[in-house]
Amino acid sequence: MSKHEDAAVPLLSARGLTKAYGRTPALRGAGIDLRAGEILAVTGPSGSGKSTLLHCLAGIVRPDEGTVSYAGERLAEQPERRLGELRRTDFGVVFQFGQLIPELTVRDNVALPLLLGGLGRAQAGARAAEWLERFGVRGQEELRPGELSGGQAQRVALARALVTGPRVVFADEPTGALDSLASEQVMTALARAARESGAAVLLVTHDAQTAAYADREVRMADGTVTPLEVTA
């Protein structure tokens, strides 16, 4: 995936982000750099602004102040339509739960981003099945998300996030509701798929064992990213 990218120039970078919900500040001048192809863990206590940072970086939330630039594009200057398109094509999103549509089959859930991109039903279905197989979800394509275990559902969510070949995957507590073995399967699958496809991952988690799948860790406290950035 590295076309003419300089490894020193981050793929996604944010400076001086502030964001408040009502009177509660969630971010107070947070900054972060995500390089192409790396897995970066954002850890910190609950309420430290991890999820809000992820939302700002993914263009889901517009920060009150500060800049987010992705591959030279300033997200604050983009209209909502372009942000949605970015999230559909260049970004993949995985949440703790809730990103699968309960009424759609597992296969259709994974195929949905492709359908939104204008791909035909048959092709999209086939591509979805391939990705499901890569994540070890086999023979369950016709089930609904409610019929899956938590770990399986998260692997389906990963397949949905990666099916469009995104350059950045945003994962917000992807193992938050899982036990340690299911977490391990999900994280191994995520790390492997990201490395194979060259996607960068921004991994928000409060769990050190999950964060250990990353190449690097930054910590958040009180809405800022602490200066500690120890590179592996």
Partner 1 sequence: MSTRHILLGLLASGPSHGYDLKRRHDERFPQARPLAYGQVYTTLQRLVRDGLAEIDGTDADGGPERTLYRATPDGSAELARWAAGIAPPAPFVTNEIFAKVVVAILSGGDPAAYLRAQRAAHMARMRELTAVKTAPGADLATVLSADYALTHLDADLRWMTTTAARLTHLTAEVDAA
Partner 2 sequence: MRPGDGVGAHGTRVGRGGAADRAGGDRVRLGTDLRLAWALSRGSDRREWWRAGLTAAGAALATGCAQTAVTLGALRGGYDVSLGAGLLDQPGTRAGVIVSLLLLLIPVLGFVGQCARIGAVHRDRRLAGLRLAGATPWQVRRIAALETGLACLLGSALATAVAVPVLLGVWTRPNAFAWAGLTVVAAGVPVLGAVAGAVALRRVVASPLGWVRRERRHSRPGPWLLLTAVLFAAVAVAAVARTAQGPRPGGLEGPVIVLGAVVVAGTAAVWLVGATARLTGRLLAARTGDPAVLIAAERLAGDPWAAARTHAAVLLVTVVGTGFVGVRQVMLEVLRGDKYLAENMDYYTTGLDLTAAAIGAALLIVLFALAVGTAESLATRRRGLAAQVAAGVPQRVLGRALLLETALPLAPAVLLAGLGGMAIGTGYTWLTDDGGSRSVPWAALLVPLGVYACCLLAAATSLPLLRRSVRPGELRYA
Q: Check residue 188 for interaction with partner 1 (CB under 8 A).
A: yes
Stretch that binds partner 2, among 7-15, 114-122, 131-139, 214-222 (CB under 8 A): 114-122
Residues 6+ apart with CB under 8 A from 230: 216, 217
Q: Check residue 213 for interaction with partner 1 (CB under 8 A).
A: yes
Q: Check residue 75 for interaction with partner 2 (CB under 8 A).
A: no
What are residue 27's phi and psi, to 5 degrees? -125, 140
The interface with partner 2 within residues 139-158 (CB under 8 A) comprises 144, 146
Q: Check residue 225 for interaction with partner 2 (CB under 8 A).
A: no
- Judged by beta carbon, residue 67 or residue 89, the one nearer partner 2 is 89
- Judged by beta carbon, residue 85 or residue 207, the one nearer partner 1 is 207
Q: Check residue 104 for interaction with partner 2 (CB under 8 A).
A: yes
Structure tokens that stand for 22 in this block: 């009502």
Distance, CA of 58 to CA of 47 (rounded, Å): 19
Q: How far is CA 132 from the centre of its chain?
A: 17
Strand boundaries in 75-143, DSSP class E:
91-94
Least separation in angstroms between residue 135's CB and partner 1 is 15
Other CB atoms within a 10 A radius of the CB of residue 126 amount to 14
SS3 138: coil
Q: Check residue 217 for interaction with partner 1 (CB under 8 A).
A: yes
Distance, CA of 107 to CA of 143 (rounded, Å): 8
Stretch that binds partner 1, among 14-22, 23-31, 77-85, 212-220 (CB under 8 A): 212-220
Residue bearing tokens 């592996």: 232
- Judged by beta carbon, residue 5 or residue 25, the one nearer partner 2 is 25
94, 214, 220, 225: residue in contact with partner 1 (rule CB under 8 A): 214
Quick one: what does residue 115 bind among partner 1, partner 2, none, with the CB cut-off 5 to 8 Å set by partner type? partner 2
Contact 2, 37 (CB under 8 A): yes
Q: Check residue 8 for interaction with partner 1 (CB under 8 A).
A: no
How many helices (H) and strands (E) the chain has is answered by 7, 10
Point out which residues bind partner 1 (CB under 8 A). Answer: 45, 188, 191-192, 208-209, 211-215, 217, 219, 226, 228, 230, 232
